[in-house]
Every structure is written in C-alpha cells, then in structure tokens.
Amino acid sequence: MFKSVFQIFVMAAALCLPLSATAANPVLVGMNTPVTGASAGEAVYFTKAAKLAEKHANDAGVNIKLIIQDNQSTNPGALQALNKSIEQDKVFAVLGPIKSTQVLAISDRVKQAEIPTLIGGTNVNLTHQGNPWFFRCRPDDSIVVHVMLKYIREDMKLNKIGVLHDADAFGTGGADLVARLAPQYGLTLVKREKYTTKDKDYTAQLLSLKAAGTEVMIHYGTNVEDVAVCQRQFRQLGLPYKYLGSPSSAVNDTLSLAGKAAEGVLAVADAIPDGTREYRDYAQAYMKEYGEEMDAWAAWNYDALMILAKAIKEVGPDRAKVRKAILGLRDYQGVLGTYSFTDNGDGRHSACIVEVKNGHPVLKKVVTVSAE
C-alpha cells in the first residue's frame, strides 16, 4: 500500500513542476526518510507533510523539488541515502532524519559537503558537535525533559520518578537527562529500566518500576510499535502509576496501535493542538490535500521545508547565505510553534503536555524553557 502511495508522489513531482519566480530551475532538496524498514510507517506521514510544503513553497514562488531517498530505517542506510542525494541527485539541501542515531551517522558527511540539513532528531548533542550545517526543527531533549519534570513537580504534585527507555541513543540520552535534571526539581529517580527496540514484553520492567515505588513513569520510546505494546501492557497491569511519555507516546500511529490502552496517557508534544492559526490552516490544507487528519509529529517536515523556502526566497540558492538566513530567523510562526534559531542551529524552545482523550491528544499545558 505504501509503495503505491510513494510512487504516486514521485510521479506527481516529476509530472507537475510549477515555475518559480526566483529561479529558472528547481532547487533540489533531498529527503532522507525511512521508506522501508522498522520505521517505514513514519515515512507515510513525513512524506505527505513534506510534499504539502513543496506545493505551498511553489505556490509562494520558490521552486523546490523534493527527491526522496530511503534510509531503510538504519544508520548505514541514512548515510547511504545522503550520499545518493549529494552525489547522484546533486541536491542543494537535505531534509534529514528524525532519529538521532541516523542524524549522528550523517553528521560528518553533511559537514564535509557543507550542505544545509534540517533535522528532527532531538538528542541534545546533535547541534553541539561543531557542525554548522544542522538546523533542528523540533525541541531538543533538554527542553522536553525540563517540561516533563516541571509538569510533574508543579502540576502533578508527585515526587518519585521511574524511567523506562529504549536502549538506543534517543532513549538513553533522554533517560540520562532525566537522571541529571530531576534533583533540580526536587524529584527522586527511584528506578531506571531499559529495553531493546522491537522487544515484545515490557512487563518485567513495568513491575520493577512499581516495586521501586514509582509514582509517575517517564517513557522515552523511539518506535511507535514498541510504545503501543508498552501502553497495552501498562493498562493490563492496572495502571500501577501515572504515565508521561516522550512525543512518540501520543502520535497517530501509536494511538491507532494502542487503541483504548492509550486513553488517559500523558505525553510531551511538539505542537499545541488547534493552538494557532498556522496549525489550523495546516490541518485544513492537509485534510483538503489527503482527506485525512494531519499527524502533528510529522509536521516538523512541513515547517522545515517552509523555513528553507523562506531563506531561499530571501537570499537565493546560495548555501552559505541560506545558512546565515536560517540562523538569523527570529519569531517565525510555524505549524508547531515559534522558531528562533540559536547559533548552534536550534530553532524550537517550547513544548506542551497533552492527554489522550477519545483517541486524540488534548492540550493540558504549554511550557517554555531554555535549552541546555
């Protein structure tokens, strides 16, 4: 099913390339996304969001053409896809991966090629390793963790935290931040448990957290299938404590797979549901284009390409000038919120807490904090 949709997108891009007011030829942008492999379900949403941005950028007079390369849901695949984008497709810029490990895998090549790369990975270190060509379009994990801990302390009025996390770079990095920052909020980390991607049984870890006296579990999960299974088993155990998850806990795929087990789950989210005019306009345009509700987790792809298009429109298709234009962006209103880029390339500085009600994330609170 996905292959046919993907082929339709590629054919549509090839057959219908609008003229640009800024360039005779399209500006080629490579998209590094998991068309196949363990995370292939994400690419369906990511590609739709990016293709909508491509359409809107062209409507605004910036002739962008997406060329999609499959990163196969792996780190070597991400690097291979990037090399194809650079060497075969001759792209001007790249819409990079959302997985932090994949972003790390391509970092040296991006720096070597001096190619603007907009990323969704949230590991704090991604933008602190001297790569001036990364531009992050989601709040990093330090922001997410501060938001979680602040909400647990001030709103939930709880003190004892348990952490369950994927053993990959994303999950481990998030759990490390929780352990380091919890004392700042007067919170105690009573137990930390991990699992490997694609594990099928989390009962032992969930019970271990209960035995340690956990009042609220922070779940740092990477793949939606894992998160959904964990939520089902969490409910089967009788909801032994409160559940507060990373963004993967409340995205469309997770909620669809978890079903009623996700009801009442709390999670951090990138965007405020229906919170801004930009969000509502995007949701309406997405519904009109695809006949379905948008996925907020995927919307960073839209914002990233629109930010790139804005920079190209202002300074032309010059990589050094585009880099400078993006770093100089202040108070840009995107679908997910406000973007103001730091010198390190971090664009987002807020997140919100949502609660799953009737299968949909509902806003609880917006929290703005400083990144690490």
pLDDT in tens, 168-195: 888 998 999 999 999 999 999 999 999 9
In a domain, 197, yes or no: yes
Domain assignment of residue 122, yes or no: yes
Q: Are residues 319 and 330 in the same domain?
A: yes
pTM for the structure as a whole: 0.80
Express each pLDDT in 328-350 by its tens digit. 999 999 999 899 999 999 999 88
pLDDT band, residue 16 (cuts 50/70/90) = very low
Residue 347 lies in a domain: no
Q: Domain for residue 346, yes or no?
A: no
Same domain, 209 and 358: yes
> For 198-213, what is each residue's pLDDT tens digit?
899 999 999 999 999 9
Q: Do 330 and 263 share a domain, yes or no?
A: no
Rounded distance between C-alpha atoms, residue 58 and residue 309, angstroms: 9
- Nearest residue to 370 (alpha-carbon basis) of 333, 327, 340: 340
Residue 15: its pLDDT value, please? 34
* CATH code of residue 87: 3.40.50.2300
When divided into structural domains, the chain yields a total of 2
Based on the domain organization, do 236 and 361 belong to the same domain? yes
Mean per-residue pLDDT for 221-226? Answer: 91
Same domain, 128 and 155: no
Same structural domain for residues 255 and 315? no
Let me know whether 230 and 82 are in one domain: no
Instruction: Provide the percentage of residues in the chain whose pLDDT is more than 70.
Output: 92
For residue 30, being part of any structural domain is answered with yes
297 and 233 in a single domain? The answer is no
86 and 202, same domain (yes or no): no
What confidence tier does 372 reach under pLDDT thresholds 50, 70, 90?
low
Same domain, 265 and 314: no
8 Å CB contact between 168 and 223: no
Looking at the structure, do residues 92 and 241 belong to the same domain, yes or no? Answer: no
Mapped to the 3 state alphabet, what secondary structure does the chain carry?
A: CHHHHHHHHHHHHHHCCCCCCCCCCCEEEEEEECCCCCCHHHHHHHHHHHHHHHHHHHHCCCCEEEEEEECCCCHHHHHHHHHHHHHHCCCCEEECCCCHHHHHHHHHHHHHHCCCEEECCCCHHHHCCCCCCEEECCCCHHHHHHHHHHHHHHHHCCCEEEEEEECCHHHHHHHHHHHHHHHHHCCEEEEEEEECCCCCCCHHHHHHHHHCCCCEEEEECCCHHHHHHHHHHHHHCCCCCEEEECHHHHCHHHHHHHHHHHCCCEEEECCCCCCCHHHHHHHHHHHHHHCCCCCHHHHHHHHHHHHHHHHHHHHCCCHHHHHHHHHCCCCEECCCCEECCCCCCECCCEEEEEEEECCEEEEEEEEECCCC
Q: pLDDT for 38-89, tens place per residue? A: 888 889 999 999 999 999 999 999 999 999 999 999 999 999 999 999 999 9
What residue numbers bound the domain in which 362 lies? Answer: 141-269+352-368
From 57, 132, 137, 105, select the one nearest 319 (Cα to Cα).
132
User: What's the pLDDT score for residue 273?
Assistant: 67
Task: Tell whether 171 and 63 lie within a shared domain.
Answer: no
- Inside any domain, residue 313: yes
